Structure 1
């Protein structure tokens, strides 16, 4: 008798409450990021003359473009997560809709990946921006103390 190797695929089961809480958490984080992005834009305006210096210009341009792209992506994700949250009704309406529920769960899985990747990229942008501003602020302070 031949035995065949069977691979089991782990499928995480999401409860409606878990998905609701995750969506609320994403919205909270994304809303905070939106405010944080406004702060970064103000910070850039404060140091604009130092940031457009010839030695910083290319780096600054990339940071400003990344921040702008990040703001657009944040707005887009907020809309997507809000729509996803409104769609949760299919999971809690008491009607057995296997296909629609599976579509909703797959969308939730996709959003987990998309939001986490965005947050990871955004963290990198923040680090770059802070490092750049910190260097400029230190050199500005040093210049003023001379």
Structure 2
């Protein structure tokens, strides 16, 4: 039978396995975002000249800076999650997960921070796609008007 842990922020009990699963899910999502960031960086590079032609150099520079920040946050979060997992393992070995309120609070805090990171990243990705889409439309309009 699994040990259940009360997580006040959800008002339900969550098992140690579920806490561990949270960490694994976070790492998986962050690794996927890292791959997407490489793609977005390449996408911006592909359309850089078009951005210059349309006067969007500042936008692209801002996106590049934000991507660099996101990449730094990825490595920070991976380190935090790995440390969090090590603490969980130690607590499991000493059979004190259930009674350790500090760990549960740190899990809750980390979860909020990661969810905020995911939300901010999705906004950045959407902004980049919207900008590239607008560049593609303007480029197509220029082609049509030149014919």
Matches of 1:82 and 1:39 in 2, distance apart? 25
Matches of 2:37 and 2:49 in 1, distance apart? 20
Gapped runs of 5+ residues in structure 2?
1-6
Normalized per residue, the structure richer in strand is: 2
Matches of 1:69 and 1:21 in 2, distance apart? 27
Give a deviation string over 1:16-45, Cα, whole Å, max 9, x none.
111101001100000000000000011011
Decide whether the 8 Å contact of 2:30 with 2:74 is kept in 1. Answer: yes
Q: Does the C-alpha gap of structure 1 residues 88 and 130 become closer, same or farther in structure 2, counting only changes over 3 Å?
A: same
> Which residue does 1:105 correspond to in 2?
104
Alpha-carbon RMSD: 2.1
Alpha-carbon shift at residue 53 of structure 1 (Å): 4.0
Matches of 1:133 and 1:51 in 2, distance apart? 9
Give a deviation string over 1:77-127, Cα, whole Å, max 9, x none.
11211221222113321434777x322212111111100011111111011
Matches of 1:130 and 1:76 in 2, distance apart? 26
Structure 1 residue ranges, 4+ long, deviating more than 3 angstroms after superposition? 94-99
Decide whether the 8 Å contact of 1:16 with 1:91 is kept in 2. Answer: no
SS in 2 for 1:95: coil
Gapped runs of 5+ residues in structure 1?
1-9
Alpha-carbon shift at residue 141 of structure 1 (Å): 2.6
Matches of 2:125 and 2:30 in 1, distance apart? 14
Q: Does the C-alpha gap of structure 1 residues 82 and 46 become closer, same or farther in structure 2, counting only changes over 3 Å?
A: same
- Normalised to the residue count of structure 2, the TM-score between the two structures is 0.82
> Which residue does 1:30 correspond to in 2?
30
Give a deviation string over 1:121-140, Cα, whole Å, max 9, x none.
11110111000001111222
Decide whether the 8 Å contact of 1:37 with 1:67 is kept in 2. Answer: yes
Asked whether 1:39 is paired with 2:36, we answer: no
